[in-house]
Amino acid sequence: MRVLPFLIAFGLTMAAAVGVTGCTTTVDLDPAEAANDPLCAEVTSNLPGTVSGQARRWTDAQATGAWGDPAKVLLTCGVAPPGPTTLPCQDVAGVDWIIDDSDAPRFRVTTFGRTPAVEIYLDTTADENGDGVSSRDVLDALSPIVSVLPVDGRCLDRSEATPAP
């Protein structure tokens, strides 16, 4: 007869454990192909506690970072370096960023001329609290950290580019 109270207690404990794990604040991300590059470890170990007023959150993937609840900024190190593109490129603190605004007000920015490459998704949409992120604030905060990655190219102005045959 002592087994029944034990089973009931065990069942309640397991139910509580499942309930607690369902409330995790960890952001579910996929690691990039080159996430195990030691340079990505150097980048992610120096990520700031806040970006554009958003607090950092735990992630479940190597070489990633996230800020905001819900996440407004997602960083992934180790993505494939982009090739030549006609997308706009912006230098911030010595780091060239390719800006994909095809889903504005959500943006994808990727380092250009750095290996491994870093990709950042940011959502500038204001939520019910009026909280959105500034793309300038995000890049100002993260560019100095990303600048440790070796430079192997740079964005060119159209006037510097070699014309296609």
Residue 42 CA, distance from chain mean position? 15
Query: If we measure between CA atoms, which residue out of 72, 50, 51, 75 comes closest to residue 63?
Result: 75
Q: What is the pLDDT of residues 99-144, one digit of tens each?
A: 999 999 999 999 999 999 999 999 999 777 767 799 999 999 999 9
Q: Model-level pTM?
A: 0.81
Q: Output the pLDDT for position 28.
A: 96
CA gap 77, 10 in Å, rounded: 42
- Torsion angle, CA of 145/152/89/111, rounded to 10 degrees? -40
Q: How many CA atoms within 13 Å lie on the side-chain side of 125? A: 12
Q: What is the pLDDT of residues 24-43, one digit of tens each?
A: 679 999 999 999 999 999 99
pLDDT tier at 93, thresholds 50, 70, 90? very high
CA gap 21, 23 in Å, rounded: 5
